[in-house]
Amino acid sequence: MNSRLITGQNLRKSFNDGNLSVNVLKGVEISIEKKQSISIIGASGSGKSTLLHLLGGLDVPDGGDVLINGRSINKLDDDERGQIRNKHLGFIFQFHHLLPEFTARENVAMPLLIRRHSKKSAFSKAEEFLSEVGLSARMTHKPGELSGGERQRTAIARALVTNPSCILADEPTGNLDEKSANDVFELILKLNQNYGNSLIMVTHNLELSRKTNQVYELKDGILKTL
Ligand SMILES: Nc1ncnc2c1ncn2[C@@H]1O[C@H](COP(=O)(O)OP(=O)(O)OP(=O)(O)O)[C@@H](O)[C@H]1O
Ligand SMILES: [Mg+2]
Protein backbone atom coordinates (compact mmCIF):
# COMPACT_ATOMS: atom_id res chain seq x y z
CA MET A 1 0.00 0.00 0.00
CA ASN A 2 1.30 3.40 -1.01
CA SER A 3 1.88 5.70 1.97
CA ARG A 4 0.98 8.74 -0.14
CA LEU A 5 -2.27 10.21 1.00
CA ILE A 6 -2.73 13.15 -1.34
CA THR A 7 -0.81 13.73 -4.56
CA GLY A 8 -1.06 16.74 -6.86
CA GLN A 9 0.34 16.11 -10.34
CA ASN A 10 1.17 18.93 -12.74
CA LEU A 11 -1.66 21.06 -11.35
CA ARG A 12 -2.76 23.97 -13.49
CA LYS A 13 -5.41 26.52 -12.69
CA SER A 14 -6.34 29.86 -14.20
CA PHE A 15 -9.13 32.28 -13.52
CA ASN A 16 -10.87 34.50 -16.06
CA ASP A 17 -11.50 38.04 -14.96
CA GLY A 18 -13.49 39.60 -17.77
CA ASN A 19 -11.27 39.07 -20.80
CA LEU A 20 -8.12 38.73 -18.71
CA SER A 21 -6.95 35.22 -17.84
CA VAL A 22 -4.70 34.81 -14.81
CA ASN A 23 -2.56 31.67 -14.67
CA VAL A 24 -2.34 31.01 -10.95
CA LEU A 25 -0.91 27.48 -10.89
CA LYS A 26 1.41 26.48 -13.71
CA GLY A 27 2.27 22.87 -13.02
CA VAL A 28 2.44 22.24 -9.28
CA GLU A 29 3.79 18.92 -8.01
CA ILE A 30 3.16 17.96 -4.41
CA SER A 31 2.51 14.89 -2.32
CA ILE A 32 1.86 14.26 1.32
CA GLU A 33 2.42 11.00 3.14
CA LYS A 34 0.59 9.54 6.10
CA LYS A 35 1.36 11.42 9.34
CA GLN A 36 3.53 13.97 7.52
CA SER A 37 3.14 17.71 8.16
CA ILE A 38 3.91 20.21 5.43
CA SER A 39 3.49 23.94 5.13
CA ILE A 40 3.07 26.15 2.09
CA ILE A 41 4.19 29.74 2.22
CA GLY A 42 3.98 32.41 -0.46
CA ALA A 43 2.99 36.02 -1.10
CA SER A 44 -0.62 37.14 -0.99
CA GLY A 45 -2.25 36.21 -4.31
CA SER A 46 0.36 33.56 -5.17
CA GLY A 47 -2.32 30.84 -5.24
CA LYS A 48 -1.99 29.11 -1.85
CA SER A 49 -5.73 28.92 -1.16
CA THR A 50 -6.36 27.88 -4.76
CA LEU A 51 -3.89 25.01 -4.35
CA LEU A 52 -5.38 23.94 -1.02
CA HIS A 53 -8.86 23.90 -2.54
CA LEU A 54 -7.64 21.63 -5.34
CA LEU A 55 -5.85 19.27 -2.92
CA GLY A 56 -9.00 19.08 -0.80
CA GLY A 57 -11.30 18.42 -3.73
CA LEU A 58 -13.21 21.68 -3.18
CA ASP A 59 -12.38 22.73 -6.74
CA VAL A 60 -11.09 20.93 -9.85
CA PRO A 61 -7.88 21.72 -11.75
CA ASP A 62 -7.80 22.88 -15.40
CA GLY A 63 -4.94 20.48 -16.01
CA GLY A 64 -3.19 17.75 -14.05
CA ASP A 65 -4.79 15.62 -11.36
CA VAL A 66 -5.25 15.20 -7.64
CA LEU A 67 -5.21 11.72 -6.11
CA ILE A 68 -6.75 11.31 -2.67
CA ASN A 69 -6.03 7.86 -1.27
CA GLY A 70 -5.22 6.74 -4.80
CA ARG A 71 -8.49 7.99 -6.32
CA SER A 72 -8.42 10.58 -9.09
CA ILE A 73 -10.49 13.65 -8.33
CA ASN A 74 -11.02 14.20 -12.07
CA LYS A 75 -12.93 10.96 -12.41
CA LEU A 76 -15.43 11.72 -9.64
CA ASP A 77 -18.67 13.68 -9.77
CA ASP A 78 -19.52 16.33 -7.15
CA ASP A 79 -21.26 13.86 -4.83
CA GLU A 80 -18.37 11.41 -4.90
CA ARG A 81 -15.89 14.23 -4.27
CA GLY A 82 -18.01 15.28 -1.31
CA GLN A 83 -17.95 11.77 0.08
CA ILE A 84 -14.16 11.52 -0.21
CA ARG A 85 -13.82 14.90 1.51
CA ASN A 86 -16.13 13.85 4.34
CA LYS A 87 -14.38 10.56 4.84
CA HIS A 88 -10.74 11.58 4.63
CA LEU A 89 -10.33 15.33 5.08
CA GLY A 90 -10.76 18.02 7.71
CA PHE A 91 -10.68 21.71 6.83
CA ILE A 92 -9.64 24.66 8.96
CA PHE A 93 -10.30 27.93 7.14
CA GLN A 94 -8.66 31.32 7.58
CA PHE A 95 -11.93 32.67 8.91
CA HIS A 96 -13.38 30.01 11.15
CA HIS A 97 -16.74 29.55 9.34
CA LEU A 98 -18.44 28.58 12.59
CA LEU A 99 -22.23 28.78 12.60
CA PRO A 100 -23.07 31.87 14.69
CA GLU A 101 -26.40 30.64 16.07
CA PHE A 102 -24.94 27.39 17.45
CA THR A 103 -22.81 26.78 20.54
CA ALA A 104 -19.19 25.61 20.37
CA ARG A 105 -20.34 22.10 21.25
CA GLU A 106 -23.02 22.10 18.55
CA ASN A 107 -20.57 23.45 15.97
CA VAL A 108 -18.03 20.73 16.74
CA ALA A 109 -20.72 18.03 16.81
CA MET A 110 -22.15 19.17 13.45
CA PRO A 111 -19.96 17.02 11.13
CA LEU A 112 -20.95 13.96 13.18
CA LEU A 113 -24.65 14.85 13.23
CA ILE A 114 -24.48 15.23 9.45
CA ARG A 115 -23.10 11.69 9.39
CA ARG A 116 -26.14 10.58 11.35
CA HIS A 117 -24.34 9.88 14.62
CA SER A 118 -26.73 10.09 17.58
CA LYS A 119 -26.89 13.44 19.34
CA LYS A 120 -25.56 11.82 22.51
CA SER A 121 -22.45 10.34 20.89
CA ALA A 122 -21.84 13.44 18.72
CA PHE A 123 -22.00 15.71 21.79
CA SER A 124 -19.76 13.45 23.81
CA LYS A 125 -17.14 13.39 21.03
CA ALA A 126 -17.46 17.18 20.65
CA GLU A 127 -16.83 17.61 24.38
CA GLU A 128 -13.78 15.36 24.19
CA PHE A 129 -12.27 17.43 21.35
CA LEU A 130 -13.16 20.79 22.89
CA SER A 131 -11.37 19.68 26.06
CA GLU A 132 -8.41 18.64 23.92
CA VAL A 133 -8.13 22.20 22.58
CA GLY A 134 -8.51 23.68 26.05
CA LEU A 135 -12.13 24.82 25.79
CA SER A 136 -13.92 22.61 28.31
CA ALA A 137 -15.22 25.76 30.02
CA ARG A 138 -16.62 27.18 26.75
CA MET A 139 -18.87 24.35 25.50
CA THR A 140 -22.09 26.38 25.49
CA HIS A 141 -20.66 29.67 24.25
CA LYS A 142 -21.68 30.82 20.79
CA PRO A 143 -18.97 32.04 18.36
CA GLY A 144 -19.85 35.69 19.12
CA GLU A 145 -19.04 35.03 22.79
CA LEU A 146 -15.60 33.53 22.06
CA SER A 147 -12.26 35.27 21.46
CA GLY A 148 -10.58 34.97 18.04
CA GLY A 149 -8.17 32.31 19.31
CA GLU A 150 -11.00 30.38 20.98
CA ARG A 151 -12.97 30.43 17.73
CA GLN A 152 -9.98 29.07 15.84
CA ARG A 153 -9.53 26.34 18.45
CA THR A 154 -13.23 25.46 18.10
CA ALA A 155 -12.70 25.23 14.33
CA ILE A 156 -9.70 22.94 14.95
CA ALA A 157 -11.83 20.68 17.18
CA ARG A 158 -14.49 20.60 14.47
CA ALA A 159 -11.92 19.64 11.80
CA LEU A 160 -10.54 16.81 13.96
CA VAL A 161 -13.74 15.36 15.39
CA THR A 162 -14.29 13.04 12.41
CA ASN A 163 -10.76 11.64 12.70
CA PRO A 164 -9.72 12.63 9.15
CA SER A 165 -6.60 11.23 7.47
CA CYS A 166 -5.49 14.74 6.55
CA ILE A 167 -6.11 18.22 7.89
CA LEU A 168 -5.99 21.09 5.39
CA ALA A 169 -5.52 24.40 7.15
CA ASP A 170 -5.63 27.75 5.35
CA GLU A 171 -3.82 30.36 7.45
CA PRO A 172 -5.48 29.19 10.64
CA THR A 173 -3.42 31.69 12.63
CA GLY A 174 -3.67 34.56 10.13
CA ASN A 175 -5.88 36.90 12.13
CA LEU A 176 -4.46 36.18 15.59
CA ASP A 177 -1.88 38.07 17.63
CA GLU A 178 1.61 36.57 17.79
CA LYS A 179 1.16 34.70 21.07
CA SER A 180 -2.24 33.21 20.11
CA ALA A 181 -0.96 32.35 16.61
CA ASN A 182 1.94 30.48 18.15
CA ASP A 183 -0.31 28.62 20.60
CA VAL A 184 -2.81 27.62 17.90
CA PHE A 185 0.03 26.49 15.59
CA GLU A 186 1.61 24.38 18.34
CA LEU A 187 -1.79 22.90 19.13
CA ILE A 188 -2.40 21.84 15.52
CA LEU A 189 1.07 20.24 15.38
CA LYS A 190 0.56 18.45 18.69
CA LEU A 191 -2.79 17.05 17.55
CA ASN A 192 -1.23 16.03 14.22
CA GLN A 193 1.30 13.98 16.19
CA ASN A 194 -1.16 12.61 18.76
CA TYR A 195 -3.86 11.57 16.31
CA GLY A 196 -1.52 10.54 13.47
CA ASN A 197 -3.26 12.56 10.79
CA SER A 198 -1.36 14.35 8.03
CA LEU A 199 -1.34 18.11 7.88
CA ILE A 200 -1.13 20.60 5.01
CA MET A 201 -0.88 24.12 6.39
CA VAL A 202 -0.88 27.38 4.46
CA THR A 203 0.77 30.22 6.33
CA HIS A 204 2.42 33.60 5.85
CA ASN A 205 4.68 32.90 8.79
CA LEU A 206 8.06 31.44 7.80
CA GLU A 207 9.15 31.00 11.40
CA LEU A 208 6.08 28.90 12.27
CA SER A 209 6.25 26.99 8.98
CA ARG A 210 9.67 25.62 9.94
CA LYS A 211 8.04 23.55 12.67
CA THR A 212 6.46 21.25 10.06
CA ASN A 213 8.36 18.35 8.42
CA GLN A 214 8.61 20.09 5.06
CA VAL A 215 8.26 23.69 3.86
CA TYR A 216 7.29 24.66 0.30
CA GLU A 217 7.10 28.07 -1.29
CA LEU A 218 4.56 28.87 -3.98
CA LYS A 219 5.96 31.44 -6.37
CA ASP A 220 5.16 32.29 -10.00
CA GLY A 221 2.74 29.37 -10.16
CA ILE A 222 5.33 26.75 -9.19
CA LEU A 223 5.93 25.03 -5.85
CA LYS A 224 9.53 24.79 -4.67
CA THR A 225 11.02 23.03 -1.66
CA LEU A 226 12.56 25.45 0.82
N1 LIG B 1 -12.76 32.46 -7.96
C2 LIG B 1 -11.84 33.28 -8.47
N3 LIG B 1 -12.09 34.06 -9.54
C4 LIG B 1 -11.16 34.88 -10.05
N5 LIG B 1 -9.91 34.99 -9.58
C6 LIG B 1 -9.59 34.24 -8.51
C7 LIG B 1 -10.52 33.36 -7.88
N8 LIG B 1 -9.90 32.75 -6.83
C9 LIG B 1 -8.66 33.26 -6.80
N10 LIG B 1 -8.46 34.15 -7.80
C11 LIG B 1 -7.20 34.87 -8.09
O12 LIG B 1 -6.15 33.92 -8.06
C13 LIG B 1 -5.02 34.45 -7.42
C14 LIG B 1 -4.60 33.53 -6.26
O15 LIG B 1 -5.59 33.59 -5.24
P16 LIG B 1 -5.44 32.78 -3.89
O17 LIG B 1 -6.65 33.08 -3.08
O18 LIG B 1 -5.16 31.35 -4.19
O19 LIG B 1 -4.13 33.47 -3.26
P20 LIG B 1 -3.44 33.25 -1.85
O21 LIG B 1 -2.03 32.87 -2.10
O22 LIG B 1 -4.27 32.32 -1.04
O23 LIG B 1 -3.49 34.71 -1.22
P24 LIG B 1 -3.66 35.20 0.31
O25 LIG B 1 -2.35 34.97 0.99
O26 LIG B 1 -3.97 36.66 0.18
O27 LIG B 1 -4.77 34.42 0.94
C28 LIG B 1 -5.37 35.86 -6.99
O29 LIG B 1 -4.84 36.75 -7.93
C30 LIG B 1 -6.89 35.86 -7.01
O31 LIG B 1 -7.37 37.13 -7.34
MG1 LIG C 1 -5.42 32.55 0.71
State if residue 55 touches ligand 1 by the CB under 6 angstroms criterion.
Answer: no
pTM of the full predicted structure? Answer: 0.92
Is residue 113 predicted with pLDDT exceeding 50? yes
Distance 183 CA to ligand 1 centre (A): 27
| pLDDT, tens digit (0-9, with 9 covering 90-100), for 49-65 | 999 999 999 999 999 99
State if residue 212 touches ligand 1 by the CB under 6 angstroms criterion.
Answer: no
Is residue 205 predicted with pLDDT exceeding 90? no
Where in the chain are the domains?
37-60+83-225
Residues β-bridged to residue 147: none
Distance 48 CA to ligand 1 centre (A): 8
State if residue 21 touches ligand 1 by the CB under 6 angstroms criterion.
Answer: no
> How far is the C-alpha of 154 from the C-alpha of 105, rounded, in Å?
8
pLDDT at 2: 58
| pLDDT, tens digit (0-9, with 9 covering 90-100), for 128-164 | 999 989 999 999 999 999 998 899 999 999 999 999 9
State if residue 24 touches ligand 1 by the CB under 6 angstroms criterion.
Answer: yes
pLDDT at 96: 73
Taking every pair of C-alpha atoms in the chain, what is the biggest distance, in angstroms? 53
Per-residue confidence band for 167, with pLDDT thresholds at 50, 70 and 90: very high
Per-residue confidence band for 1, with pLDDT thresholds at 50, 70 and 90: very low
Per-residue confidence band for 182, with pLDDT thresholds at 50, 70 and 90: confident
Q: Could you tell me whether strands 214-219 and 198-202 are parallel, antiparallel, or unpaired per DSSP bridges?
A: unpaired
**Which of left, alpha, beta for 117 (phi over 0: left; psi -120 to 50: alpha)?**
beta
- DSSP letters of 164-175? -SEEEEESTTTT
CATH architecture of 37-60+83-225: 3-Layer(aba) Sandwich (3.40)
Ligand 1: which of 48, 94, 95 to mutate, judged by most atoms within 8 Å of the beta carbon? 48
- What percent of the chain lies above the pLDDT cut of 90? 68
Ligand 1: which of 21, 23, 24, 204 to mutate, judged by most atoms within 8 Å of the beta carbon? 24
Nearest atom in ligand 1 to the alpha carbon of residue 46 is: 21
State if residue 47 touches ligand 1 by the CB under 6 angstroms criterion.
Answer: yes
At 133, the amino acid letter reads: V
134 alpha-carbon distance from chain centroid: 20
pLDDT at 153: 92
State if residue 105 touches ligand 1 by the CB under 6 angstroms criterion.
Answer: no
Distance 171 CA to ligand 2 centre (A): 7
Q: Are 160 and 197 in contact (CB under 8 A)?
A: yes
> How far is the C-alpha of 190 from the C-alpha of 46, rounded, in Å?
28
Contact residues for 106 (Cβ-Cβ < 8 A; gap 6+): 99, 126
Question: Mean pLDDT across the chain, nearest whole number?
Answer: 92
Residue having the nearest C-alpha atom to atom 4 of ligand 1: 15
Among candidates 184, 213, 209, which has minimal Cα distance to 48?
A: 209
